[in-house]
Each structure stands twice: as structure tokens, then as C-alpha cells.
Structure 1
Amino acid sequence: MIEKYLPQTTFTDFEDFKANYQLNIPVDFNFAYDVVDGWAEKEPNKRALLWTNDQGESRTYTFGDLKEITDRTAGYFSSLGIQKGDMVMAILKRRAEFWFTIIALHKIGAVIIPATHLLTSKDIIYRANAASIKAIICDGDDVILHHVNSAMPESPTVEKLISIGPNIPARWEDFQSGIKKAQPFERPEEPTKNEDPIIVSFTSGTTGDPKMVTLDSVYPLAHIVTAKYWQNLHEDSLHLTIADTGWLKAVWGKLYGQWLVGASVFVYDHEKFTPSAILEVLSKYQVTSLCAPPTIFRFLIREDLSKYDLSALEWCTIAGEALNPEVYDKFLALTGIKLREGYGQSETTLTIFTSPWVKPKPGSMGLPNPHYDIDLLTAEGHRAQAGEQGQIVIRYGDKYPSGLFNGYYRNKRLTNEVMVDGIYFTGDLAWRDEDGYFWFVGRADDVIKSSGYRIGPFEVESALMTHPDVVECAITGVPDEIRGQIVKATVVLAADCKHKAGPELAKELQDHVKQVTAPYKYPRIIEFVDELPKTISGKIRRVEIRAKDFI
């Protein structure tokens, strides 16, 4: 399949990849018709999706199955008045219906707004009005249905509410019976233009109201690099990315690139994360590839891995937050597998990554994706030299790369703040070593300036995380009359170590940081807490910690 989009698909090393990777963009590309239906025509019995849940149920869908189901799903949505360009919110957890829904909406040319089941009524009202949402399709869970129903009096643009079950409230459409009765959707002459939006994703809002990231029809093609050259997938792969479908990480790891390369997507539909349960399904279904945030791997390495058959596991990738080196070392010792980090944003696809051709450097994001023109710029606007901190930017000029977002929906001011003179400013700081590897520092507004030093939160967090008593931590700056700012650590201890919280352990952690990294970076203040404030996508809200310290 990817041969249709890449003149060269195999490379001898990273230099070959950097020099010769080239993506051919067809006219009017549509992922649903060109890829999903393309596989259905070529190999209808090829496995596309293996879904299982924490109740022991499982179902397998071939590409032939998906074509038939999504044609009827698109026909059903069309019968409800959903048309090209309409905004449809999907709150579908990890249900198989998410895949039916997103492909069907792509076939119609409607725009999907993925949403997490953790949204409250207030969150739904904000999103419905910000994006003029026309329809909401969601899991028929009582809590979700209650929040949606409560939001409707203040959501005037919403015309249709659709439940996939098990509960179907009054005035709601029944998805399951609807698609059974529906006539298959007939492909329009022109389903989508390349510039047409197919996804509007609300960011998780670490510092303010969520922004609306707009992604167009050719966005999926940029994920060939994600699946083929980072996750190292092939047609016999069974790949699991641990992510809720309410976030873009789902289309990074559970849809676009994976099906472009012909791999099977594995879905574990669970309500509560349990490390042993993840290991059990990896073993039972012989999953070959796993992608998850570092937090997941932190929990996995605390389990007795010898109890599980992980012999099928070939490759593991890590994203969502920067990787602490001690997690890398422990996982390698237990499994023999090197965790390969990747970096990107909701506004991009994979931009920096550790490819199969290069040696991982624990804690480094890896090397820039040649699909983008990536650089580091200092605050003064010059190119950062080796060892010098700079903001990660993407230069696009007159040649706009697929995968880079098309701006923030209905927010030209914010778009113009981050896209200036042909450059997209990510807001993330990093430094580059002599070998060209990028090392994450933190968000530009998270960097601490103390006694003339610039201290990145991640480097101190990484040092603290090497202490066996620490499960999670967040580093922030606290105002100080003499130094400007001093480093503060907000620390979550392991369950069996919580009783140790106090001045003695604080001093031990401070001394530990001094030994692991430069002594001037050590946290002069340590606060022990039961949990860190986080967004609904699981990102630490350092802004909330800072706000309390500035009161």
C-alpha cells in the first residue's frame, strides 16, 4: 500500500532515509476510500482490527468487514442529516464503534471531533459552541449520557444525539439498529479535497481553554513515518498503542499509519488501567508491537515479567512525555527491548524520533523526521548550536508539509502567534548534542531561571525519578528575592513509601539529585502529595502548581 505514496520504501540507514524519503501526495486523497476500501478490494480477508475488552470478549474485523460496516454506518449518518463539513463529536472510549464512526465520517467528508469520556457537562458545552457541533455520538454509559443531556440546553447547534448502547435514552438515536437498517453510502464524486478538514481536535488545555487543532485530508499520510519507520511495523504486525480514542494519540497509533502499512491494530478496551492486565493481553494475543507513555512502562517494570509470555513482542516505542533513562534501562534489562522515543504534538505528526537505524540514547527524543524541516531557534532568533537550548520549530515556507496542522479553528490570533514568517513555533525547548540527537528541556514557559541559570524541569524530574521511592514528580519554579526563582519538587511516593514523607526523606532526595545531575539544579523545596494535578489527558498541570506558590 505505501508504495503508492513513497517512491522508495526501504532504506539502508538513517542517512539514506534522510536523503531519499519523499512523500507523494495524490489529488483528493481520502483515507477511508483509498486505504481502508483499498485493502478491502485487494485483500478482503486481511485482518485489520482485533478488539478485546476487560470482560474477556473479543472480535476480529477484516478490511472486508470494515468496508461493509462503514458503508452502512456512513449511510446511517447520512440519513440523520450529517453532511460533508458537519462537525461530529465522538465520545467512544475504546469501543470498536470508534473505528466504524471515524471511517464513515471520512467517507461522507464530515469532521470528527474526538472527545474523552472524562468530559463534564461544562466541557461539552464549551466544545459544542466553540465548534458548532451538529451531532454527538457516544458510548451509552449512564455518566456520559448524563453529562451530554445536561449540556444540551446550552448547546443550540447540536441536532442529533446517537448512542451506541447499552443505554438508549428517550430522544436519542440507536446506533446499532440504525446501521442494521441503513442503506450503504454511495461514494460521492468528490468526497474530500486535500485541504478539507477531517479532524478538529481539542488540546488538553494545560494553561488555558483547549485550542481547536484543525487537520486536513492528507494528514494521515504523514503517519507512514510513525508506523513504518518508528514503530517498525510490517504486514504481520499486531500493534497496541495504549490510548483513549478521545485523543490524537489514537490516530497516531491505532489507525492511520498502521493500516497504511498493512499492520493489524490491537485494541484492549478497559475501564481501569491495571499493569498485570496489560501484560496478560500482550501474552495471550501475542502482540508484536507496543507504544505507550513512560508512565505505563514505569508501572510495567514493577511487575514480575517472568510470569508472562512476551516472546512475540518485537518492538516498543514511547511517547506522550519525555522518557526518564532509568525506565529505559530497567525495561531493557527485563525484556531485551530498547524503548524508542518519539516526539510530536497535536499540531503535528511525529517530528523527532529514534528510528530502527540509530542507537537509542536513553532520555533523548532522537533525530528529526526528514518529512519536516526541523530546527532549534534561540530566543534571539538564531540557530542553536550543539549544547545550546532553543525552541523546536518547523520551517515550511512555501511548501506546506502534510501532517502540519492548518491552524487553530476560529482563532486566527492564536494561529498567527505560533506561525510566523513560514515558521511554526512549537513552544517546546530542547538542545541538540554533537550527534544531532535532540534532548527535551520543557515548555518555554516552564523553564526555571535561577541565579542566571536556565533549568529545564525534565532534567531535574529525570534525576528524581531514579530514586526508588519516587513514582511521579513535577518540577516548578518558585519566586525568590535573591535568586529570582528556586527549584521546587512536588513528589508522589510509591504506596509502600508514603510513610517516609518528611524532612529526612526530603534531604535524601535533594542529595540524590545533586549526585545525579549538576548540583545547582537540586530542588530547594520538596512537597509530598498524594497525586499531581493533571489535565483530562493525563498531562501534568505545572501551571496549577505554580499558581498555588504565587498566591
Structure 2
Amino acid sequence: MNLARYCLTNAAASDEAVALEVIGADGLLLERWSYGEIEDTVLRIASGLGALGLKRFDRILLRLGHSSDFPLLFFGAIAGGFVPVPTSEMLTAAESEAILRDSGAAAIIHDGKTVLPDGQARLIGPKEIEALKTAPAGSYAMTEADDPAFLIYTSGTSGTPKGVLHAQRAAAGRAPMYDSWYGMHSSDRLLHAGAFNWTYTLGVGLMDPWANGATSIVYDGSRDPEIWPGLIEVSGATLFAAVPSLYRRILKYGDVSSESFPALRHGLTAGEALAADLHEDWVMSTGRPLYEALGMSEISTYISSGPTVPTRPGSPGKPQEGRKVVILSEILPGEMFAEVGEPGWLAVHESESGLMLGYWNRPEETEQVFRSGWFLTGDRAREDEDGYYWYEGRADDLMNAFGYRVAPEEVERCLGAHPGVSEVAVTSIEMRPGVSLITAFVVPVGPDGMDETALAEWAGEHLAEYKQPKAYRFIDALPRTPSGKIRRKVLV
């Protein structure tokens, strides 16, 4: 099995079918690639990299901007049996150097614009990239399902980012998403708002459309929220994928109605929890469903709502068809399952083909997340009587209030339902040694702010006393990672 071959040959109707479109400002078409053209170029890059003397499974650091070169070189490396290491173009020299050092990459492919790390690795620049595209076409490397395919580094909301190594089987392991989340067909046109270095974009924006013979649409231009409704419409996108925070900004700054983007069937969202009020606002404004999925770099998505699983605001949905997902008891993880309604550890069975091979160079950490045949995601959740899962936050985000464990997501859901709150993040702040208080960081809806007393009264009506924030701070925006996740640990 070769991941690149699976994606490019699994379902394409013909070599002439459109695989990739790159659009610019106002939806202007900049590039159009057929499946035949993509595959030909990918196989030329695979052959060219081999001719440079790179060895099988050598890591190749990608320092590229958001252009068609990114997918061509990413899939070209995999096709040749090498292991691409995608990185954000926004990384500093020190950040990319840390990844270069940890990954042991033998080469760095760069576009001449991104910051390069210091280190001993072969540099492959713009001229060499053009030469790779015109090298004699080779063939797909004869890799096995469990051979390494790509190495992605986590966004690192705290601590040092760590490498997540995925196998050649990773793309095929995403198959349960096709029906359970997307309802995808070969006629679909999927526009993704994210950057290519993110697993959300690599998977949802490229692997899955191509594995279904659909068209991936890439936007290369400014990221102002008001431009997206027009881009969705003019591109003819039938599916649109983004993080919840972008949907919220689209509704706030864009011109959106039920008559907007008539080709769009529904929106897709992942990367952070979808607030119930945002879900309701999107449906009311557009008349289209917004389907959420819960996933992570180590496994992609495994819980979702979709065409066959009606949305339930506040819940990401149910385990996708065929997935082996459970909630383990917090008392004896791996040995007992949690009761219905009881919070516990969210786990995925180790037999899932989309599951990572492990953390790169971190065997102890890899061993820690596997227990009695289950991969412990580090997330907490509970299941209701109808089989819907409710996210209770990351285990390491739990706050301690007077001896009680409190999930920040529960408090955020409550405060986020207040009509005066646009966004909110909750964390525990140490006020003095040994004394920490649950603190809410609130982005008000209006420019004039809001009344702290009214918000505290709202919390008092909906939360147990020990769960209520003891301090409120009003801010203009929440700090986020490049992938859009809230950085609670930097809130002070």
C-alpha cells in the first residue's frame, strides 16, 4: 500500500477529471490540475528525489507557503517512499530548527520565501523544485501498510511540539469519514480554509476529496473573514471546511443569507468545539447544516455528525460507522467502561487503521497512551442514552476547585450561551502560592463591553457554586494557535 497511490487512483473517474483548483482574489481561477496531471507530476517528483540520493524513509522537511507546490511535493515524497515533514510557513528559524533536529530530516524543500532553520540537511530550493517536476516519471514505491508515510508535528499549545508518525494506511483509515461526516461524492467540490501544514487540511482538504475522485479547491489570498461567502459561491463549492472561529467571524463580518452560495450542501467544522449558539446562528442564517467532527493529529476524526447522524448542538456527534470508540472509566482505565452519562476517558481501539504508528523518538510517551488494547486520546467525554458523545475537555485542562475537578468546556458552554458573550475561555489562574481561581476570559458581543455582575448571575443560575468563575476578565480576542485552537495556558 502506498498512500499517494491510494489517494490519486482510488476513485478518480478519469485522468481528465479535475483534482485541484487554485483560486485567488474574487475567486479568480489561477491553476487547474487534472488527476492525470497531478499523478504525472507526483511521480516525476518521486523519481527526482530518488535521483538526488535520498534513501527510503528519509525525512524531508517542507518549508513551503500555501500553493500547489505543497501538495505536489508532499504526495511526491510519499510516492517515492520518503517521509515528508510538513511545517507552517509562520514558524521562526528556532522553531523549525527544533523540528529539523528532532526529525533528523535529510533534506529541506523550501520555496525561497520561508525562514530556514540552521542545521545539516540538503537544501532543495525553487530551481530544484522545478527540476523535480520535469524529472523522468517513475513509479510508486512498493511500501507496506505499516511503513511510515508522513511525520506531522503537533501544534504545541504547551511544551515542545512532538512528531506524530503516520503509516501508509492512514489515508485508507479515513474511509469511515466519507459517509459519516461528509456524505461525499465524486461530483463534490471541497473548499478548505486552512493551511496545508495542518492535518485537518491535509486530510479533509486533499486526501479525502482525492480518494473519492472529487475536486479540492485551494484559496491563495488574504484571510479576511468577509471574503469567504463570495469565495464559497464563486468557486461552486459544495462542501466548505473551517474551524468554528472562522464560521463565527463569517457570520459577523460577511454578508450571509439563505440565498448565499447556492451550491453548498453543508459546512464541515473541526479543530475545536462547536458552540451550540454558533451552530444555531449558522443554520438560521444560511439554512444549511453545519456538521462537526472530533479528532486529533494521532487518528484524524472519529466522532461526527453528518447526513446520516442528525446534529445535536453541543455534541460533536456519534462514533463514525465502523469505528471502535469507547469511554473508559476514570477509576480503572482500560479495564472498565464508563456508564451512560458518566464522564470518562475517550479511547480508540489500537486496531484502527488510521491510528498513528507512534510519537517520533518518544517510545515512553507512545507506550503511555496505549493501555489494554486502547489508545487513550487524552480527552474526556460522556455518552448519552441516544449514543451521542459530549466532549468534556482535555484531561490536562481539568481545573481543581475546592477539591472538585471541573472541565473548562462545561463552564465555557454555559457562559457562551449568554447573549452578550461572543467567545469565552476558562482556565485556572494562580493568584498567590497555593491559591488558584477559576477565571473566565470573555470577548463581548458589542464594543461597549458587558456587565460582569449580570454574567456572574447567569453562571449562578446554571452552574454549581464550585464551577462558577471567581474572576472575569474582558478581552478583545482569545489567543489561538496557528490552527485555531484556544491557548488557555497563555491566559493570565
Task: Sort the TM-score into its range (normalised by shorter chain).
Answer: over 0.9
Number of the residue aligned with 1:523: 469
| The 10-residue stretch of structure 1 (289-298 or 221-230) with the greater mean CA deviation from structure 2 | 221-230
RMSD of equivalent CA atoms: 2.4
Instruction: Give the SS at the match of 2:457.
Output: helix
Distance in 1 (CA, whole Å) between partners of 2:315 and 2:172 is 26
- Count matched residues: 487
Which of 160, 163, 174 is matched with 2:123 structurally?
A: 160
Counterpart code for 1:160: L
Distance in 2 (CA, whole Å) between partners of 1:136 and 1:446 is 35
Does 1:500 pair with 2:449?
Answer: yes
Does 1:540 pair with 2:486?
Answer: yes
Distance in 2 (CA, whole Å) between partners of 1:392 and 1:417 is 15
Contact 1:375 1:394 in 2 (8 A): yes
Counterpart code for 1:95: S
Identify if the C-alpha distance between structure 1 residues 257 and 319 changes in structure 2 by more than 3 Å, giving closer, same or farther: same
Which of 226, 237, 255 is matched with 1:276 structurally?
A: 226
Q: Which string of whole-angstrom CA distances, capped at 9 and with x for unpartnered residues, describes residues 295-318 of structure 1?
A: 011112223313973111102221
Counterpart code for 2:348: I
Q: Which string of whole-angstrom CA distances, capped at 9 and with x for unpartnered residues, describes residues 227-258 of structure 1?
A: 33311110111012221111111122112222
Identify if the C-alpha distance between structure 1 residues 539 and 180 changes in structure 2 by more than 3 Å, giving closer, same or farther: closer
Identify if the C-alpha distance between structure 1 residues 175 and 419 changes in structure 2 by more than 3 Å, giving closer, same or farther: same
Number of the residue aligned with 1:292: 242
Instruction: Give the SS at the match of 1:112.
Output: strand
Identify if the C-alpha distance between structure 1 residues 34 and 392 changes in structure 2 by more than 3 Å, giving closer, same or farther: closer
Identify if the C-alpha distance between structure 1 residues 402 and 180 changes in structure 2 by more than 3 Å, giving closer, same or farther: closer
Identity of aligned residues (%): 28
Does 1:182 pair with 2:135?
Answer: yes
Aligned 1:32-111 pairs, distance under 5 A: 32-37=4-9, 43-54=14-25, 56-111=28-83
Counterpart code for 2:170: Y
Distance in 1 (CA, whole Å) between partners of 2:313 and 2:227 is 27
Shift of residue 210 of structure 1?
0.7
Number of the residue aligned with 1:225: 176
Q: Which string of whole-angstrom CA distances, capped at 9 and with x for unpartnered residues, describes residues 341-382 of structure 1?
A: 111110102211113222211010111124332111232113
Contact 1:532 1:540 in 2 (8 A): yes
Instruction: Give the SS at the match of 2:111.
Output: strand
Number of the residue aligned with 2:101: 129
Contact 1:316 1:340 in 2 (8 A): yes
Number of the residue aligned with 1:211: 162
Distance in 2 (CA, whole Å) between partners of 1:316 and 1:500 is 31
Counterpart code for 1:86: D
Counterpart code for 2:205: K
Shift of residue 429 of structure 1?
0.6
Aligned 1:219-258 pairs, distance under 5 A: 219-258=170-209
Number of the residue aligned with 1:305: 256
Distance in 1 (CA, whole Å) between partners of 2:260 and 2:30 is 20
Shift of residue 518 of structure 1?
5.0
Q: Which string of whole-angstrom CA distances, capped at 9 and with x for unpartnered residues, describes residues 470-515 of structure 1?
A: 333210124589x975421112335x52x436xxx22222223334
Instruction: Give the SS at the match of 2:125.
Output: strand
Number of the residue aligned with 2:344: 390
Does 1:358 pair with 2:309?
Answer: yes
Distance in 1 (CA, whole Å) between partners of 2:370 and 2:22 is 40
Number of the residue aligned with 1:25: none
Contact 1:238 1:264 in 2 (8 A): yes
Aligned 1:420-439 pairs, distance under 5 A: 420-439=371-390
Shift of residue 461 of structure 1?
1.4
Identify if the C-alpha distance between structure 1 residues 484 and 393 changes in structure 2 by more than 3 Å, giving closer, same or farther: farther
Distance in 1 (CA, whole Å) between partners of 2:312 and 2:295 is 18
Shift of residue 323 of structure 1?
0.9
Number of the residue aligned with 1:487: 438
Instruction: Give the SS at the match of 2:23.
Output: strand
Q: Which string of whole-angstrom CA distances, capped at 9 and with x for unpartnered residues, describes residues 72-98 of structure 1?
A: 222332333333211111233321111
Number of the residue aligned with 1:323: 274
Q: Which string of whole-angstrom CA distances, capped at 9 and with x for unpartnered residues, describes residues 274-322 of structure 1?
A: 1221111111112101121110111122233139731111022211111
Contact 2:177 2:320 in 1 (8 A): no
Shift of residue 221 of structure 1?
0.4
| The 10-residue stretch of structure 1 (76-85 or 339-348) with the greater mean CA deviation from structure 2 | 76-85
Q: Which string of whole-angstrom CA distances, capped at 9 and with x for unpartnered residues, describes residues 167-188 of structure 1?
A: xxxxxx4422x13542222445
Number of the residue aligned with 1:259: 210
Does 1:114 pair with 2:89?
Answer: no
Number of the residue aligned with 1:419: 370
Contact 2:401 2:437 in 1 (8 A): yes
Contact 2:6 2:211 in 1 (8 A): no
Gaps in structure 2 of 5+ consecutive residues = none
Distance in 1 (CA, whole Å) between partners of 2:280 and 2:158 is 33
Shift of residue 205 of structure 1?
1.2
Distance in 2 (CA, whole Å) between partners of 1:514 and 1:255 is 46
Distance in 1 (CA, whole Å) between partners of 2:161 and 2:378 is 15
Q: Which string of whole-angstrom CA distances, capped at 9 and with x for unpartnered residues, describes residues 381-432 of structure 1?
A: 1321122110101233xxx221011110111111111112322111111111
Distance in 2 (CA, whole Å) between partners of 1:136 and 1:226 is 32
Does 1:345 pair with 2:296?
Answer: yes
Instruction: Give the SS at the match of 1:361.
Output: coil
Q: Which string of whole-angstrom CA distances, capped at 9 and with x for unpartnered residues, describes residues 144-200 of structure 1?
A: 2xx30xx22xx12x112323xxxxxxxxx4422x13542222445x2x111111111
Q: Which string of whole-angstrom CA distances, capped at 9 and with x for unpartnered residues, describes residues 98-120 of structure 1?
A: 12112211210100111011111
Number of the residue aligned with 1:30: 2
TM-score (norm 1): 0.83
Identify if the C-alpha distance between structure 1 residues 198 and 394 changes in structure 2 by more than 3 Å, giving closer, same or farther: same
Contact 2:449 2:474 in 1 (8 A): no
Counterpart code for 2:132: I
Identify if the C-alpha distance between structure 1 residues 297 and 313 changes in structure 2 by more than 3 Å, giving closer, same or farther: same
Counterpart code for 2:33: Y
Counterpart code for 2:228: I
Does 1:457 pair with 2:390?
Answer: no
Distance in 1 (CA, whole Å) between partners of 2:435 and 2:390 is 25
Gaps in structure 1 of 5+ consecutive residues = 1-28, 164-172
Number of the residue aligned with 1:12: none
